[in-house]
Amino acid sequence: MKKPIYILLFLSLMACQSARKTQKAVNAGNYPSAMNRAIDKLTNNKERKSNQVFVVALEESFAKYTEQELRQLRFLEKENLDASLEERYNILGNLTDWQERIRPLLPLRIQDERREARFRFTDYSDQLLRTKTALTEFKYNQAVQEFGLCQTKGDFRRVHQLFEQVDALNPGYKETISFMEKAHEKGLQLVFLNLENRTEQVLPQRLVDELLDIDQYGLETYWTQYHTQAQAKDYDYQVSLDFDQLFVSPERIIEKQISREKQIVDGVQFLRDNNGEVVKDSLGNKIEVDRLITVRCDFYKFRQFKEANLGAQVRITNNRNGQLVKKFPLQSGFIFEHIFARFEGDQRAFDDGWLDWIRQREVAFPSNEQMIYDAGEDLKAQFKSAMRRVSLE
């Protein structure tokens, strides 16, 4: 019976703390925080007696918040500055939003005063629409003016954000979409990725195609575009992937002979004394012992081996000023290894682990092209990882 009492005490304590925090927010003038807490509590159960404190707090904080915001709104309207249009729009929007959050909870009763909590709701829609229209026009004119002053790609990106704000307020307003497209085109950063093979061997075409597959790297953003074939007159950056090392070893089979002798049990025999007589136990039965024999085996282990190594340099150049932004090496390798074996003699001379190789057979060596491609798998991962850490914004 003690556990339920402790749980009730804990829940009661938590409720008291939440109520104190809500009232503290009201007293400090942090009305949105107080309203949030009260709405959350009342949404769960507005009829609970312990939630009466939140009804009172919500009534008080909403009234004070509305009075405070309307006072600021009247001042801004008297000031009548275009620069304050956004603040006026936000005030009206926030007042409307708070009303809509409280409305589903109504009616809310204050039991001690035997009345319903009072919330003075106002329809701000006409005022909100007028302010929105004025704000849209102001932001649009500001963005158009800024567009005409743009000189760098960064300027066009900032202007694009201004037109985004206009479009968020009033989708499709005047020529907003057209200006956004132009700003994007002029603010777009173009990067040319090229691959050069400075070795004397041929890179597999499949590896080249995959290295130049931009989509797999996840590098492109709204403002950065990569090309692997020249499509533009000028590029902001160039990423050069230059292969300067490509080595494939000869195919080798390394043989190793291991000879081993071992004593093993091969049946049973009668125990004999030094005179060659069969030894008997106390009951007259002949005593049997293990018959040990020595076996020998020559084990021939063959190791097929071939390796490939790839090396490249990545150079990232800022074409606008000719400076080298970043340079880093890439190194990758791949080893083909296969072990098989044969034996002569009695294989019981070796443990089972050795015998596993006997079950293997010689296999065909991979081609040079396949070896280079396999070595390139890790190099692709290195290139992808390195490029993701480089910021070209």
Instruction: Give residue 281's pLDDT.
Output: 78
Instruction: Give residue 3's pLDDT.
Output: 52
Q: Where a domain ends, among 143, 165, 187? A: 187
Whether residue 270 is found in the same domain as residue 204: yes
Whether residue 236 is found in the same domain as residue 321: yes
Please list the helix, strand and coil fractions of the chain in percent, rounded to the nearest 5, in that order: 50, 25, 25
Whether residue 54 is found in the same domain as residue 138: no
Whether residue 58 is found in the same domain as residue 158: no
- What whole-number distance in Å separates Cα of residue 343 and Cα of residue 347? 7
Q: Which residue matches tokens 């080249």?
A: 208
Digit-coded pLDDT (tens) for 91-119: 999 999 999 999 999 999 999 899 999 99
- What whole-number distance in Å separates Cα of residue 141 and Cα of residue 138? 5
Whether residue 179 is found in the same domain as residue 207: no
Whether residue 287 is found in the same domain as residue 160: no
Tell me the average pLDDT across 319-333. 93
Digit-coded pLDDT (tens) for 278-324: 777 778 787 777 778 788 888 888 999 999 999 999 999 999 899 99
Tell me the average pLDDT across 157-177. 97
Lowest mean pLDDT among 63-72, 128-137, 151-160, 232-241: 232-241
For the chain, the domain total comes to 3
Q: Long-range contacts: 285-293, Cβ < 8 Å, 24+?
A: 290/265, 291/265, 291/266, 291/267, 292/263, 292/264, 292/265, 292/266, 293/263, 293/264, 293/266
List, in order, residues 6 or more apart from 379 with CB less than 8 Å away.
310, 312, 330, 331, 332
CB 327 within 8 A of CB 317: no
Rounded (10°) CA dihedral 138, 139, 141, 144: 180
- Answer whether residue 13 is part of any domain: no
295, with CB counted inside 10 A (0-12, 13-18, 19+), is: middle
- Nearest in space to 200 (alpha carbons), one of 382, 328, 379, 368: 368
Whether residue 201 is found in the same domain as residue 332: yes
- Answer whether residue 315 is part of any domain: yes
- Answer whether residue 346 is part of any domain: yes
- What whole-number distance in Å separates Cα of residue 87 and Cα of residue 73? 8
* Helix, strand or coil, per DSSP, at residue 311: strand
Q: Where a domain ends, among 122, 146, 168? A: 122
Whether residue 336 is found in the same domain as residue 253: yes
Domain that holds residue 155: 133-187
- What whole-number distance in Å separates Cα of residue 46 and Cα of residue 34? 16
- At residue 12, does pLDDT exceed 50? no
Whether residue 169 is found in the same domain as residue 217: no
- At residue 167, does pLDDT exceed 60? yes
Instruction: Give residue 286's pLDDT.
Output: 79
* Helix, strand or coil, per DSSP, at residue 103: helix
Digit-coded pLDDT (tens) for 213-226: 988 888 899 999 99
- What whole-number distance in Å separates Cα of residue 359 and Cα of residue 124? 86
CATH code, 303 = 3.30.160
Instruction: Give residue 393's pLDDT.
Output: 64
Cis peptide before 107 (omega within 30 of 0): yes
Whether residue 287 is found in the same domain as residue 175: no
CB 169 within 8 A of CB 139: yes
- The region, left, alpha or beta by phi > 0 then psi within -120 to 50, assigned to residue 345 is left
CB 241 within 8 A of CB 196: yes
Whether residue 147 is found in the same domain as residue 231: no
Whether residue 148 is found in the same domain as residue 256: no
